């Protein structure tokens, strides 16, 4: 396994850029130009894709108030990622663009049609990050009293994806003939109704868009709980996973691959990317000083706990920061994120857990490009693949300097070692992911 190439993606969202630091970008990313510049930098560094996270609410979980979230710009304000995905795809040529869309906010027909349209607009480089949403407030914004239980949400998601796939395949290969002699654009015998009728969703079909370059978008998912992992292993082309130490990473990937094989899939067709937040500097001391400035900021603990509260639907303001968390808490929100944050059985205090979140929980992520590259390569050699999803350090906003540090500092070091791609060779995002 030693020396094999691994994949790189970037995890971000259509939210605030770095607006209130000495090297700030300005806090006005809403025309998308900041993200266009970022996507073009990622493409020059040959990232597989940029993933645009999303949520459907302004949270009030932490302290039963929206104040902390709006004051600090934590996950709000936020723009819809799918129009941004079209913009980014139009300004790049090879970079994959993945948009998050929740199964509670679209009917399968509407989402299948939207995905097909966007995939055509950006030449087969579109991905759908499948989420079921994890917050009751999001459900309430869409007219429900609360979310269904997690197990039921995944049952519904299985059916939802099946309906979308039926629609994407409602046009047979070769249906678009464009025959001038007979003045026929589409052979109607190759377009059929699907008449999908499930327990939760139904759709007549056929889809009224032509098949896109990928036919169906690249499917991305983050499955943390056993039921979530089962869904991801059966469904996804790429999986977003938290970094919880090398042993945890290896166990997660091995579990996903075993579940995929049991479902009749080739495990090599699924690329599990682990979320990390490298902090690099010209020297180790410089990198450590960057990390220290983040974790010693007066509002750091509040920001971390408010962020964890949002994605888990648990109010962490109720816990003593200088005591360990109660053992094995359960949530109807993101159980995998809760497990990765809490490090059950470690005995660490809530404050210590928060500090470790700065680089998303994986040791060795603070240092020179050479030191961080050593750590990333070592993890991949132990785990066997498949790669990393780079993001910003916890509680910071995305800024040009951080993207530059990674794209022009860390990635070239990985490229010199032959560990990540130096060019694109595939025509679609799915092809890029399956290249190695």
Neighbours of 330 (CB within 10 A): 11
What per-residue confidence (pLDDT) applies to 23? 77
200-224 per-position pLDDT tens digit: 999 999 999 999 999 999 999 998 8
Q: Number of folded domains in the chain? A: 1
Q: Is residue 397 part of a domain?
A: yes
**Mean pLDDT for the chain?**
95
Residue predicted with more confidence, 361 or 177: 177
H-assigned helices in 107-189:
108-121, 136-141, 150-168
CATH no. for residue 251? 3.20.20.30
DSSP single-letter state for residue 128: E
> Does 100 appear as a known binding residue?
yes
Of 243, 274, 278, 249, the closest CA to residue 373 belongs to: 278
Q: Is residue 152 part of a domain?
A: yes
Q: Is residue 119 part of a domain?
A: yes
What per-residue confidence (pLDDT) applies to 244? 80
Cis previous bond, 87, omega within 30: no
What per-residue confidence (pLDDT) applies to 1? 41
Contact 42, 95 (CB under 8 A): yes
Q: Is residue 1 part of a domain?
A: no
313-349 per-position pLDDT tens digit: 899 999 999 999 998 898 887 887 888 899 888 899 9
Residue 175 pLDDT greater than 60, yes or no: yes
Q: Is residue 2 part of a domain?
A: no
Residue 2 pLDDT greater than 70, yes or no: no
What per-residue confidence (pLDDT) applies to 27? 73
Residue 408 pLDDT greater than 80, yes or no: yes
Which residues form the domain of 107?
7-433
> Does 106 appear as a known binding residue?
no
Percent of the chain with pLDDT over 90: 86
What per-residue confidence (pLDDT) applies to 416? 98
Residue 19 pLDDT greater than 50, yes or no: yes
Mean pLDDT over 364-385 rounds to 97
Q: Is residue 363 part of a domain?
A: yes
Of 297, 321, 312, the closest CA to residue 396 belongs to: 297
Neighbours of 401 (CB within 10 A): 14
| Overall pTM surpassing 0.85 (yes/no) | yes
254-271 per-position pLDDT tens digit: 999 999 999 999 999 999
Q: Is residue 163 part of a domain?
A: yes
> Does 154 appear as a known binding residue?
yes
Q: Is residue 408 part of a domain?
A: yes
List Cβ neighbours of 425 (8 Å cut-off, separation of 6 or more).
435
Model confidence at 362, pLDDT cuts 50, 70, 90, reads confident
């Amino acid at each position: 396994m030693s020396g094999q190439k691994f994949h790189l993606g970037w995890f971000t969202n259509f939210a605030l850029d770095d607006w209130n630091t000495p090297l700030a970008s300005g806090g006005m990313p809403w025309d998308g130009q900041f993200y266009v510049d970022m996507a073009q930098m990622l493409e020059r560094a040959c990232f597989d894709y940029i993933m645009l996270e999303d949520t459907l609410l302004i949270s009030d979980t932490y302290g039963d108030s929206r104040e902390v979230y709006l004051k600090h710009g934590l996950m709000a304000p936020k723009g819809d990622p799918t129009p941004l995905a079209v913009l980014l795809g139009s300004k790049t040529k090879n970079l994959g663009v993945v948009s998050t869309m929740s199964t509670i906010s679209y009917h399968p027909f509407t989402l299948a049609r939207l995905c097909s349209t966007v995939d055509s607009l950006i030449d087969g480089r579109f991905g759908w990050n499948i989420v079921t949403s994890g917050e009751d407030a999001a459900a309430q914004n869409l007219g429900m009293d609360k979310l269904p239980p997690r197990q039921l949400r995944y049952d519904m998601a299985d059916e939802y994806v099946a309906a979308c796939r039926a629609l994407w395949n409602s046009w047979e290969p070769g249906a678009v003939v464009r025959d001038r002699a007979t003045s026929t654009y589409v052979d109607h015998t190759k377009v059929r109704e699907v008449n999908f009728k499930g327990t939760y969703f139904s759709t007549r079909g056929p889809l009224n868009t032509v098949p896109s370059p990928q036919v169906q978008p690249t499917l991305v998912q983050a499955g943390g709980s056993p039921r979530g992992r089962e869904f991801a292993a059966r469904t996804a082309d790429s999986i977003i996973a938290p970094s919880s130490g090398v042993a945890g990473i290896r166990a997660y990937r091995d579990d996903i691959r075993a579940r995929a094989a049991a479902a009749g899939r080739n495990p090599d067709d699924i690329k599990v990317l682990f979320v990390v937040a490298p902090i690099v500097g010209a020297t180790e001391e410089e990198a450590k000083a960057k990390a220290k400035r983040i974790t010693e900021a007066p509002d750091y603990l509040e920001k971390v706990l408010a962020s964890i509260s949002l994605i888990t639907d648990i109010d962490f303001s109720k816990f003593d920061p200088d005591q360990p968390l109660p053992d094995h808490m359960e949530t109807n929100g993101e159980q995998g994120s809760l497990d990765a944050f809490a490090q059950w059985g470690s005995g660490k205090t809530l404050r210590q857990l928060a500090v470790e979140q700065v680089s998303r929980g994986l040791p060795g992520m603070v240092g020179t490009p050479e030191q961080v590259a050593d750590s990333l390569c070592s993890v991949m050699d132990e785990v066997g693949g498949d790669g990393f999803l780079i993001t910003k350090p916890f509680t910071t906003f995305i800024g040009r300097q951080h993207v530059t540090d990674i794209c022009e500092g860390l990635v070239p070091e990985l490229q010199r070692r032959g560990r990540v791609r130096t060019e694109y060779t595939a025509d679609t995002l799915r092809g890029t992911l399956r290249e190695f």
